[in-house]
């Protein structure tokens, strides 16, 4: 391989920092007896937790040093999410606790929204303020007009409060801004969702197909571990990505696809499997319906047809299809996780689901297993009042196949309009920075400006807190109890989170806030306990455990109820679809007026001088949540803009140079981003890691570092099937200090 273009970068800037800073301190005062730094004391008490740095929620142990400060967190060996190994973010979770920029005390806004001017308040004042507004809204328009947006464990407690209050308007951006399309596509095909952690049996797969899914850069711990196991066992990895991702570099086949053309490739793969009779005939005959329609549908979509669209060599399309067939049924065409790209995402994921069905991988070892969850009974409380309006009413008959609440649908329903009998008037936001999570920031701001009340519950002063009327400082996961983790996996299991330290500052756990607010709202009946320990102990005792036992074990596994991890050979299986079969031809979609089988539609291409804005994850950060974490910013404190060398030459861009970006609608990024010229990206797109470019100066390490991709996503392609916000149809150009016209600079 040619060495002509060689990049040499240290991913962790620390490598160089160690040297550079070392020199700085080299001539500092020489100390005769330097104090020894003792490693974390292993003898000290360890407390169990499960991680809150991302949604994977790995269970681990928190250790303190001799002075009682939290020093390190390691994985719990019995936890199937992490198998004793935390990821860098989980290991760096200590930084969340130590971060001196944390929210420290309740705040009440004193001036205009978005100006971030607050006065400190007591908890009692803050709760009174909130309760008064909530009561007024309930009296005037009904409790359903209070919405909860959550992406954290605190959501369980505020969700409980909202249900007691009479509202089911509860939403997580993890659906319509992330994995929603795959869940809907797999429900319409297999009658079941993918779950989290994903039910992908990567450990035992012989062929793993990743479509835009950059495992390894997204540190979904268990999956990355299993991918590594699969590499050890010689599994074939096929990666489809316009960018040479880390996963692509581990793959036998990298298909550098032209962005936004994935459906064409999927249709061609389906065509090849059917034309060559490479599908699992017995499985398809026994379990599926609609095969003849599918066969007729894909007949024109040959690899040669797809070549002109995707730029992928037809022979490679055939060869990779053959690899899948050879591995079948131990093959996974991975559904991905963040899949809201172009607005036809449910249809693309239908293509993925159909491929898996043809290969017979659903319900088979090395394909998709059947997860089981240990369900704890709920602590007894009176039945919740029945809401008069359901959250789905907010989006007026649209997105009827969405199996979860569509957050952007609620955002839309907050902006008053004549067609709506009522709009949402209060938001409680917990553990999600909506300014970075929801695309089209202006719409979010318009919605917020229409609100009577915005309460933000978070540990950090992220941007959304700047718009809040009341900010409630939540203590970190290392300082609180939360509900028992009950996650679906190969073995049913539960995990405990308990405080390793007292909450710093005047921060409090969400369960406490919810209970206090319930008191102010006259909803005590739904909180008939003194503290969460009482609830957890009661729940655990119903399944033969106890809080004491869980404090010792952290994680407890249970036997499966049935031996049904995979389908037994020849087993009769009824799927939870209209036909009871795997639906290659989706009756649900047809009934709602959508294409019953996926169709390729061309998407808009970048105008001249513009490049498609692609974004993704870094292994050391979670969304915008960790951007100020002292341990993790130490590894990566800004995002960079990946630019192909051809493009860089055209614009005269050099690695290390800072540029602002302007999108197709004239929106210019608030801050500048450091250019990284690299062969790893196509010439028609640029790439950055999501979650940077914070504009709240209270985040001392994150403020002004890098560019926030969300602010450049002003054009949103909404998936008509389930309301997902397609965010990859935005194009940017470079704004340099000395403006150069890209076309001329190259000549």
Q: Interface residues for other proteins in 691-710 (CB under 8 A)? A: none
Strand order in the sheet with 253-255: 253-255, 236-240, 207-211, 331-333
Q: Which of residues 599-628 bind other proteins (CB under 8 A)?
A: 619-620
Q: Which residues inside 201-220 make contact with other proteins, applying CB under 8 A?
A: 215-217, 219
Among 632, 643, 673, 699, binds other proteins (CB under 8 A): 632
Nearest to 594 by CA among 408, 351, 344: 344
- By CB under 8 A, the residues from 333 to 372 that bind other proteins are none
Site for other proteins in 634-673 (CB under 8 A): 634-635, 644
Other Cβ atoms within 10 Å of 295 Cβ, number:
15
Size of the site for other proteins (CB under 8 A): 85
Q: Rounded to whole angstroms, how far apart are CA atoms 100 and 96?
A: 9
> Of 298 and 555, which CB lies nearer to other proteins in the complex structure?
555
The stretch near other proteins (CB under 8 A) out of 19-27, 361-369, 659-667, 719-727 is 19-27
Q: Which stretch binds other proteins (CB under 8 A): 37-45, 108-116, 436-444, 598-606?
A: 37-45
* E strand or H helix at 173: helix 173-174
* β partners of residue 687: 614, 642
Looking at beta carbons only, is 84 or 385 nearer to other proteins? 84
> Residue 5 interacts with other proteins (CB under 8 A)?
yes
For other proteins, the binding residue among 105, 141, 228, 714 (CB under 8 A) is 228
Q: Which is nearer to other proteins, 11 or 525 (CB)?
A: 11
Contact with other proteins (CB under 8 A): which of 114, 142, 256, 385?
256
Task: Report how far residue 499's alpha carbon sits from residue 480's, in angstroms, rounded to the nearest whole number.
Answer: 4
Task: Indicate the burial class of 369 (C-beta count within 10 angstroms; 0-12, 13-18, 19 or more).
Answer: buried
Of the listed pieces 14-22, 151-159, 519-527, 542-550, which binds other proteins according to CB under 8 A? 14-22
> How far is it, in rounded angstroms, from Cα 123 to Cα 520?
12
Shortest CB 581 distance to other proteins, Å: 38
Contacts 24+ apart (CB under 8 A), 443-447: 443/411, 443/412, 443/415, 444/411, 445/114, 446/415, 447/411, 447/412, 447/414, 447/415
Residue 562, number of CB atoms within 10 A of its CB? 8
- Does 139 sit near other proteins (CB under 8 A)? no
Asked whether position 30 contacts other proteins by CB under 8 A, the answer is: yes
Comparing CB distances to other proteins, the nearer of 660 and 680 is 680
Residue 132 found at the interface with other proteins (CB under 8 A): no
19 vs 45 by CB, closer to other proteins: 19
Site membership for other proteins, residue 200 (CB under 8 A):
no
395: which DSSP letter? G
| Shorter beta-carbon distance to other proteins: residue 250 or 694 | 250
Q: Which residues inside 60-99 make contact with other proteins, applying CB under 8 A?
A: 65, 71-75, 82, 84-88, 91-92, 94
Give the per-residue contact string, 671-690, with other proteins (x = CB under 8 A; - = no).
Answer: -------xxxxxx-------
630 contacts other proteins (rule: CB under 8 A):
yes
The least CB distance from residue 209 to other proteins, in Å, is 18
Torsion angle in degrees (nearest 10) through CA of 741, 745, 746, 747: 110
Task: Give CA–CA dist 319/513, Å, rounded.
Answer: 57
SS3 string of 553-622?
A: HCEEECCCCCCCCCCCCCCCCCCCCCCCCEECCCHHHHHCCCCCCCCCCCCCCCCCCCEEEEEECCCCCC
- Examine residue 38 and tell whether it contacts other proteins (CB under 8 A): yes
Minimum separation from the CB atom of position 724 to other proteins (A): 28
Residues 182 and 200: their CA atoms lie apart, in Å, by: 13
Does the protein bind other proteins through residue 8 (CB under 8 A)?
yes
Q: Report the C-alpha gap between 233 and 366 in whole angstroms.
A: 12
Check residue 417 for interaction with other proteins (CB under 8 A): no
Smallest distance from the beta carbon of 566 to other proteins, in angstroms? 25
Give the integer Cα–Cα distance in Å for 732 and 566: 46
For other proteins, the closer CB: 25 or 562: 25
Task: Give the total residue count for the chain.
Answer: 747
The bridge status of strand 236-240 relative to strand 207-211 is: parallel
To other proteins, the closest distance from the beta carbon of 620 in angstroms equals 6
Q: Write down the least CB distance from residue 556 to other proteins, Å.
A: 23
Residue closest to 712 by CA, chosen among 607, 605, 615 = 615
Q: Which of 105, 141, 246, 302 binds other proteins (CB under 8 A)?
A: 246
88, 219 contact by CB (below 8 A): yes
């Amino acid at each position: 391989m040619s060495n002509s273009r060689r990049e040499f970068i240290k991913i962790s800037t620390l490598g160089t920092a160690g040297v550079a800073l070392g020199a700085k301190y080299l001539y500092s005062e020489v100390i005769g007896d330097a104090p020894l730094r003792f490693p974390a004391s292993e003898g000290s008490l360890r407390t169990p937790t499960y991680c809150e740095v991302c949604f994977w929620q790995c269970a681990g142990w928190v250790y303190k040093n001799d002075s009682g400060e939290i020093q390190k967190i390691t994985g719990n060996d019995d936890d199937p999410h992490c198998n004793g190994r935390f990821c860098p973010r989980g290991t760096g979770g200590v930084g969340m606790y130590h971060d001196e920029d944390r929210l420290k005390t309740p705040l009440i806004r004193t001036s205009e929204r978005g100006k971030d001017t607050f006065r400190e308040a007591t908890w009692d004042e803050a709760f009174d303020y909130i309760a008064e507004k909530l009561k007024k809204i309930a009296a005037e328009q009904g409790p359903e007009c209070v919405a909860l947006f959550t992406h954290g464990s605190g959501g369980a407690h505020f969700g409980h409060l909202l249900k007691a209050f009479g509202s089911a308007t509860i939403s997580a951006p993890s659906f319509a801004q992330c994995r929603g399309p795959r869940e809907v596509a797999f429900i319409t095909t297999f009658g079941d969702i993918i779950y989290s952690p994903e039910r992908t049996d990567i450990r035992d797969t012989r062929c793993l197909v990743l479509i835009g899914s950059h495992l390894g850069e997204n540190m979904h711990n268990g999956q990355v571990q299993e991918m590594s196991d699969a590499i050890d066992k010689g599994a074939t990895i096929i990666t489809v990505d316009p960018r040479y991702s880390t996963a692509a570099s581990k793959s036998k086949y990298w298909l550098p696809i032209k962005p936004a053309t994935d459906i064409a490739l999927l249709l061609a793969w389906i065509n090849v499997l059917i034309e060559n009779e490479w599908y699992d005939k017995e499985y398809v005959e026994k379990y599926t319906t609609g095969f003849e329609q599918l066969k007729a549908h894909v007949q024109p979509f040959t690899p040669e047809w797809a070549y002109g669209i995707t730029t992928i060599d037809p022979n490679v399309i055939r060869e990779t299809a053959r690899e899948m067939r050879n591995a079948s049924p131990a093959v996974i065409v991975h559904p991905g996780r963040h899949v809201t790209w172009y607005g036809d995402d449910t249809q693309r994921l239908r293509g993925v689901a159909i491929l898996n069905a043809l290969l017979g991988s659903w319900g088979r070892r090395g394909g998709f297993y059947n997860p089981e969850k240990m369900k704890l009974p709920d602590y007894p409380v009176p039945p919740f009042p029945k809401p008069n309006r359901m959250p789905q009413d907010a989006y007026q008959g649209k997105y009827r196949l969405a199996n979860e609440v569509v957050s952007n649908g609620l955002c839309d329903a907050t902006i008053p309009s004549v067609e709506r009998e009522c709009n949402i008037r209060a938001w409680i936001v917990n553990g999600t920075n909506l300014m970075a999570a929801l695309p089209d920031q202006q719409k979010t701001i318009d919605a917020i400006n229409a609100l009577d009340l915005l309460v933000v519950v978070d540990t950090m002063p992220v941007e959304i807190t700047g718009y809040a009327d009341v900010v409630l400082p939540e203590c970190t996961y290392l300082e609180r109890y939360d509900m028992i983790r009950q996650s679906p996996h190969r073995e049913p299991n539960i995990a405990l989170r308990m405080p390793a330290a007292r909450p710093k500052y005047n921060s409090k756990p969400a369960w406490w806030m919810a209970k206090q607010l319930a008191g102010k709202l006259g909803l005590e009946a739904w909180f008939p306990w003194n503290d969460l320990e009482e609830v957890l102990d009661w729940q655990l005792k119903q399944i033969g455990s106890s809080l004491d036992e869980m404090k010792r074990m952290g994680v407890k596994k249970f036997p499966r109820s049935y031996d049904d991890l995979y389908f037994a050979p020849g087993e009769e299986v009824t799927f939870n679809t209209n036909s009871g079969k795997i639906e290659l031809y989706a009756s649900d979609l047809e009934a709602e007026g959508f294409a019953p089988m996926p169709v390729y539609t061309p998407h808009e291409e970048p105008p001249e001088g513009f490049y498609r804005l692609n974004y993704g994850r870094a292994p050391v950060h979670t969304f915008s949540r960790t951007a100020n974490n002292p341990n993790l910013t130490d590894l990566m404190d800004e995002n960079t803009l990946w630019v192909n060398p051809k493009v860089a030459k055209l614009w005269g861009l050099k690695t290390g140079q800072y540029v602002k970006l302007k999108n197709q609608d004239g929106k210019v990024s608030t801050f500048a981003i450091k250019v990284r010229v690299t062969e790893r990206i196509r010439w028609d797109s640029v790439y950055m890691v999501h979650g940077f470019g914070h504009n709240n100066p209270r985040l001392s390490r994150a403020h002004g570092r890098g560019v926030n991709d969300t602010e450049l996503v002003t054009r949103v392609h909404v998936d008509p099937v389930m309301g997902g916000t397609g965010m990859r149809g935005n194009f940017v150009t470079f704004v340099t200090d000395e403006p150069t016209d890209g076309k001329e600079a190259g000549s």
